[in-house]
């Protein structure tokens, strides 16, 4: 096998029970196959992965290159079985085989963890992950599988100190961390690798309805159902709906599509999806100066963008000096008021100049919108221009796209793991692009800023982190 030096080192360090830790797009699947061929053949192979990756036949493609098939007559090594985590219970009685646990789901003490612990007692195995663990509790299933601890309770008794001043179980601190570090290092095989890509992140400032937000936050009022909020969970949900429903977010996506005719958009909620779907039936005219801007003009943290007049603020713009055709520099974020509300996808597929300072990119019949979420499982369109709408939970992992260099985050996810995985969908070893563009739509609302602060610190957002702050508002 042709492996990169970092992959070759990882294979040489792996053993039974190792956790292969490689970034998204680093080639963990190929390294797992190489390890099997060198250390575990001719045992039968069971790959436990996500339903999407199972259905895409990615793993079969990796193994078939080495004459490994799914029945005894089509393999030179063991027999291959690929299935999803939801079906892990089917393999509880398998013995003396080799298991690859891909995109690990071993958090907590649920059914997957119980089945995993039962299976590894009688089989050889490795685990692949891009995000090995946010806390020490995330490592408990693997530590128990190696026999470091008898069970989860034994781990907690030795290492976890809980906060006694809360009404819910909250870890105050861990003790014996030195031992935990040694145990983790004994099973974790890190696979760093040099990327040829450069990630360029831009924050796009968007608005939100401050009056509605204050009614939700200060009066605890459900502004959509005209009633008091039931609990804190509903408070956060309605706050996010107010913030993420603002029309400037849709305007920002329209603007980005002028620069990137192939754009992936991640979102959280169905109400966001309904707004994004409306782009299929609308068009827009982009007003700009005589040399249209594109991603090549963007420098991280400093975006030069044409002054474009939003329909919402046109009255104010008309009373100031003429803005048509002028260019201003945005200080730290790209204004979401970048598109007028006239049309977005005109009838044919070219760029038309409508005035000396106004151009329109026309997408026409080749433009497509596709979705991957709990409602639809559509592939990335194969046309010259498209919008791919992906829900975080359904599509933050187990697929990739090397046909575009741009991704937008319509709203933020609470999970750092999903955030990290989503970025990797276009950052692959075989992408033809060098500069990859990531656009975060962010408002000044306290909930948006709190989530972004957590993600920037490489940890998941927890509503408990700002409950005291929210309660004082």
DSSP secondary structure string, 126-160? EEEESS--SSGGGGHHHHHHTTSSSSHHHHHHHHE
Task: Give the ranges where 44-84 is alpha helix by DSSP (H).
Answer: 51-56, 58-64
Question: Helix or strand or coil: residue 244?
Answer: helix
Q: Mean pLDDT highest for which of 27-41, 278-292, 301-315? A: 27-41
User: How many other β-carbons are positioned within 10 Å of the β-carbon of residue 53?
Assistant: 19
With a pLDDT cut of 90, the percent of the chain lying above it is 57
8 A C-beta contact, residue 45 and residue 39: no
Instruction: Give residue-wise pLDDT tens across range 75-111.
Output: 899 999 999 999 999 999 999 999 999 976 676 677 8
Confidence of residue 360 (pLDDT cuts 50, 70, 90): very low
Quote the pLDDT of residue 192. 82
Beta bridge pairs of residue 112: none
Which of 12-26, 278-292, 396-410 is predicted least confidently? 278-292
pLDDT of residue 167: 64
Token pair of 49 as six digits: 């992965």
The pLDDT of residue 106: 73
pLDDT above 50 (res 50): yes
Quote the pLDDT of residue 51: 85
Residue-wise pLDDT tens digits, 132-159: 777 898 899 999 999 999 999 999 999 9
The 8-class DSSP code of residue 472 comes to T
Tokens of 353: 């100049």
Model confidence pLDDT, tens digit, residues 187-241: 999 998 777 899 999 999 999 999 999 999 999 999 999 999 999 889 999 999 9
User: Can you say whether the dihedral through the CA atoms of 111, 116, 119, 122 is positive or negative?
Assistant: negative
Domains of the chain: 5-191 (3.40.50.10810), 198-471 (3.40.50.300)
* Residue 135: per-residue pLDDT: 83
pTM as predicted: 0.66
Q: Is the pLDDT of residue 452 over 90?
A: yes
Average pLDDT over residues 29-55: 93
Nearest to 440 by CA among 201, 197, 199: 201
Residues 6+ apart with CB under 8 A from 140: 149, 152, 155
Residue whose C-alpha is closest to residue 345's, from 405, 407, 269, 257: 257
Point out which residues pair with 198 in neighbouring strands. 435
């Amino acid at each position: 096998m042709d492996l990169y030096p970092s992959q070759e080192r990882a294979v040489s360090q792996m053993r039974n029970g190792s956790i292969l830790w490689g970034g998204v797009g680093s080639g963990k699947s190929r390294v797992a196959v190489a390890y099997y061929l060198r250390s575990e053949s001719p045992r039968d192979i069971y790959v436990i992965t996500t339903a999407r990756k199972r259905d895409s036949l990615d793993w079969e493609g990796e193994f078939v290159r080495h004459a490994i098939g799914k029945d005894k007559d089509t393999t030179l090594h063991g027999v291959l079985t690929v299935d999803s985590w939801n079906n892990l219970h089917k393999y509880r009685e398998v013995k003396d085989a080799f298991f690859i646990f891909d995109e690990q789901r071993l958090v907590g003490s649920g059914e997957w963890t119980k089945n995993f612990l039962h299976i590894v007692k009688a089989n050889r195995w490795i685990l692949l992950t891009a995000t090995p663990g946010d806390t020490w509790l995330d490592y408990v299933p693997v530590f128990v599988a190696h026999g470091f601890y008898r069970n989860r309770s034994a781990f907690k008794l030795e290492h976890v100190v809980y906060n006694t001043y809360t009404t819910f179980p909250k870890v105050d601190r861990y003790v014996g961390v030195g031992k935990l570090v040694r145990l983790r290092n004994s099973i974790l095989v890190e696979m760093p690798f040099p990327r040829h890509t450069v990630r360029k992140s831009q924050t796009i400032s968007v608005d939100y309805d401050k009056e509605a937000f204050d009614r939700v936050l200060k009066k605890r009022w459900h502004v959509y159902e005209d009633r008091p909020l039931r609990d804190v969970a509903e408070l956060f949900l309605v706050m996010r709906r107010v913030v993420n429903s603002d029309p400037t977010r849709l305007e920002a996506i329209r603007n980005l599509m002028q620069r990137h005719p192939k754009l992936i958009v991640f979102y959280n909620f169905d109400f966001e999806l309904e707004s994004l779907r409306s782009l299929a039936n609308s068009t827009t005219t982009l007003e700009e100066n005589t040399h249209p801007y594109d991603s090549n003009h963007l420098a991280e943290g400093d975006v030069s963008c044409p002054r474009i007049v939003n329909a919402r603020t046109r009255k104010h713009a008309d009373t100031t000096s003429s803005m048509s055709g002028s260019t201003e520099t945005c200080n730290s974020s790209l204004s979401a008021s970048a598109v007028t509300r006239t049309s977005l996808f005109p009838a044919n597929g070219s760029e038309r100049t409508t005035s000396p300072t106004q151009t329109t990119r026309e997408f026409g019949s080749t433009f497509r919108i596709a979705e991957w979420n709990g409602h639809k499982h559509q592939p990335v369109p194969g046309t010259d221009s498209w919008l791919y709408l992906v829900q975080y939970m359904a599509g933050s992992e187990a697929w990739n796209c090397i046909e575009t260099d741009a991704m937008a985050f319509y709203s933020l996810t609470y999970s750092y793991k999903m955030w990290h995985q989503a970025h990797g969908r276009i950052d692959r070893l075989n992408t033809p692009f060098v500069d990859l563009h990531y656009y975060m739509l962010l408002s000044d609302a306290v909930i948006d800023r709190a989530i972004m602060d957590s993600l920037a610190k490489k940890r998941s957002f927890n509503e408990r982190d700002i409950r005291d702050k929210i309660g004082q508002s």
